[in-house]
Structure 1
């Protein structure tokens, strides 16, 4: 009989024998700290309903686009993984069949952060002692399903078992926040917070834009018939989010451009969008203009402005047509920040009420652009490695490329940015281990004392996210 599957206590720590003991000591100081999850995509409905997650496939496979994209790259299809139907293929509705396909493809995750997160979840949360494979799939399914069915495995209870002190959801700008009100009424209002996401409203050439603007107006109680009333509705909804405990906005534009338009030009483009005659060039200019307007509103209401540019969404047209947006065919592109952010930083970079956190999936700009910008503008912080850069080696490169210019204090701390709820503890654990390894090297090289390294590790894991996402000033 093979040995039970276990996880090495030193996983992701440095292999160097001089550095590893120091890394262990630093990691021990942060391992059990509460999790501050200030940006993510776990649905608020999960906390409002507090219902069972159903089955292993719906919890761990179907919603995780990191996982499904890898399996698709190896010949699986989204319908076979439970995502939806196409004209030529019906969606798989048997969760055990979906789970078997995941287990049969386990080897494809070797060397990826997805492997790290999944094995942490399976071993630490579900008590699994066998690696996933075609041969173990059914036994693992039964074990995970039994754990999901337990009364203490509900979204609210997991906040405590995962050690999550606070978690932010991401909500459309037209949300009435009824689910958040229910969560707050049940005593979780300080732990589950909304985040204002206006992206569909700022891209005026999207097919659903006029319908989305109408939804905004209905939620805000404002008849949106002009550029001025459009801004009024956005301000009204932002105020609603602030009242519900929101700390931040979130913007996932393709470009980081923040160049404002003259008021007359902005009104003209908005009117063209309402009439359905707006051009692609006008729409792109308007989206940059609206990022500037969002920054101006953040300077007024104190919501932290998160900017996640540089991803070409829905790269494959067939999955977009079949399943809608955000189904895992999103690919990074080169992103420019220095000139793009200049209008906002020139206007608000020293404003006491404005705070921006900039993220990127273009690794080249960490040391060339973002670290120098965060290292001088008081309003700007550098976000944690995100999406395709949240792997161990990429996170190490981030520390090496950005810290020397920006320092630690101009960072956001770790942000998990996930809808895969059970991966949140694993993601934070990996970040803490990587940071412990980086800080240990500074200690061994006599560039930091050990007590300083421990203090920085606690900052990165716990204090900096609290500071970066502090409650808006009254």
Structure 2
């Protein structure tokens, strides 16, 4: 709430704001009108409170400010995300505000859809060109719909990210609403046409030290090669994502195997040549600067099969015969074990994040394709599932495994105890649906007592929305500052230790976790 008043921390500020709203509401009661968000909105320029997301309690807040001050200017290590390398290679303008902020952002789209909207109204195009399509919505109209829905995002991290982007990055001084939508659109449109808001200019302004993209195993990595030739080879690096190649029952698996064969130059005629082709692609990614692999299976199972059984199931799939679900799942778990073995060989960090039902609404998938906000978390078991992999490689000095989850019930029960004993395993940051202020606080509270801070790897933003990268890292640094401040206030840490830990969480740990080896 922007009240236009200077006031002390805590309840005094809140009281000033509520008194103003009470007076305004009383005025509307006398006139018979009902106050709305637009009538209650301050006439002062929209600004963001410097203490946003820090603790409300005054003593802890002062400590959190001091800790956050030491981390807020640190470079950003964005080591897990989905920004397209082409954007930085070509360095062309982003397009209009709807293209940059709304259409690619699952969080924004899914919230509006949940209130009765539809993905096509938010810019999703049908994937089947044979089916008649509704007229594409005007991008200004998409932006208007988003601004008119601004109140839906109250209390969500999307609200925090968008506020940071609009105010801190683009200098917007009006809150989004139906009334302000066009004016904000015009201001953003003008900014996006200027050189200062081109991708590389923002990359420098955001102080991104390293950005990792996520790329299919068959990618030619041509944009990474172009960037490397221009001196950006250590700043924008690929990540090896082989998931479709490990899922024998996937509808695209035969075509994906053909892509693997073409990109690797190895004719995949059986299980052995399949493994050779995967190794070749991993080497190509390493040569392009890759630091990690990325795996998002449905289950965390890592049970290896015998060579004979792996050959049998693979040959069955390659022949075009139907592989039953049990065989497909067994092969997937076996291949996660093989990916770990390959990471021991080549040094790529193995990132693992199971537990999502992808594309929950089949009708939306069929009409508009994947990644439209319908990926839903499920409960995951890790202790028994990871045991084969960790027994084989958990103490190997050349292996590094970072495990993420969207099932936060396993942090204290399974993941923190595992990361707290196996030297090869580290606990990944809260992400996706847990990439929230409360989710990050719960993570620290449930994981730290068992795993400590130094068996975690720092924050990852996992975003496709390039302009949101600094907002997401800023929020993480604020939440960590608040958690550490509480430990100082409770005399469980000294302030110098809290500051050192905050710096390690923001910068030192992710740098070490994804270092070349």
Indicate yes or no: 2:311 matched with 1:267: yes
Work out whether residues 83 and 91 of structure 1, in 8 Å CA contact, stay in contact via their aligned partners in 2.
Answer: no
1:384 aligns with: 429
Q: Secondary structure at the match of 2:77?
A: strand
* Secondary structure in 1 matching 2:283: helix
The corresponding residue for 1:158 is 202
Q: 2:157: which partner in 1?
A: 113
Bigger-Rg structure (1/2)? 2
Residue 230 of structure 2 aligns to a residue whose secondary structure is helix
For residues 345 and 91 of structure 1, do their structure 2 counterparts lie closer, same or farther at Cα, with a shift above 3 Å needed? farther
Deviation at 1:89, TM superposition (A): 5.2
Cα displacement (A) at 1:91: 5.3
SS in 1 for 2:506: helix
Indicate the residue corresponding to 2:456 in structure 1.
411
- Cross-structure match for 1:169: 213
Q: Aligned equivalents of 1:89 and 1:227: distance in 2?
A: 42
**Distance (Å, rounded) in 1 between the aligned partners of 2:135 and 2:351:** 35
Query: Unpaired segments of 5 or more residues in structure 1?
Result: none
Q: Aligned match of 1:14 in 47, 52, 55?
A: 55
Rounded Cα–Cα distance in structure 1 between residues aligned with 2:435 and 2:509: 18
Provide the C-alpha distance between the structure 2 equivalents of 1:115 and 1:171, rounded to a whole number of angstroms. Answer: 29
Alignment correspondent of 1:68: 109
Residue from 68, 71, 75 that aligns with 1:34: 75
Task: Report the counterpart of residue 183 of structure 1 in structure 2.
Answer: 227
Structure 2 SS opposite 1:189: coil
Q: Match for residue 337 of structure 1?
A: 382
SS for the counterpart of 2:121 is: helix
- Is the counterpart of residue 314 in structure 1 residue 339 in structure 2? no
Question: Aligned Cα RMSD in Å?
Answer: 1.0
2:4 matched to which residue of 1?
Answer: none
Aligned length: 472
1:218 corresponds in structure 2 to 262
Question: What's the offset of the Cα at 1:152?
Answer: 2.2
TM-score (norm 2): 0.90
CA distance in 1, matches of 2:82, 2:253: 22
Q: Deviations over 1:163-214 (max 9, x none)?
A: 1111000000001111100011111111000000000000010111011011
Counterparts of 1:288 and 1:134, CA distance in 2: 50
Could you give the per-residue CA deviations for residues 284-326 of structure 1, whole angstroms, max 9, x where no partner exists?
Answer: 1111110000000001000000001111110001111011122
Deviation at 1:155, TM superposition (A): 1.4
Q: Aligned equivalents of 1:134 and 1:56: distance in 2? A: 15
Alignment of 1:51-450 (within 5 A): 51-85=92-126, 90=134, 92-276=136-320, 277-450=322-495
Instruction: For residues 110-162 of structure 1, give each alpha carbon's deviation from its aligned partner in whole angstroms, at most 9, with x where no partner exists.
Output: 00000000000000011111110111000000011111111121111211111
Question: Residues 39-54 of structure 1: matches in 2 within 5 Å?
Answer: 39-54=80-95
SS in 2 for 1:259: coil
**Residues 382-410 of structure 1, C-alpha deviation per residue, up to 9 Å, x if partnerless?**
00001010110110000000001001111
1:92 Cα shift? 2.5
SS of the aligned residue for 1:378 comes to coil
Q: In the TM superposition, what whole-angstrom CA distance separates every residue of 1:61-114 from its partner, at most 9, and x where no partner exists?
A: 011101101010011111111011385752534210111111111110000000
CA contact (8 A) 1:84 1:90 kept: no
How big is the shift at 1:18?
Answer: 1.5
Dislocated runs of 4+, deviation >4 Å? 86-89
8 A contact 1:79–1:89 mirrored in 2:
no
Structure 2 CA distance for aligned equivalents of residues 143 and 162 of structure 1: 20
1:466 aligns with 2:514: no
Q: CA shift at 1:48, angstroms?
A: 1.5
5+ residue gaps in structure 2?
1-41
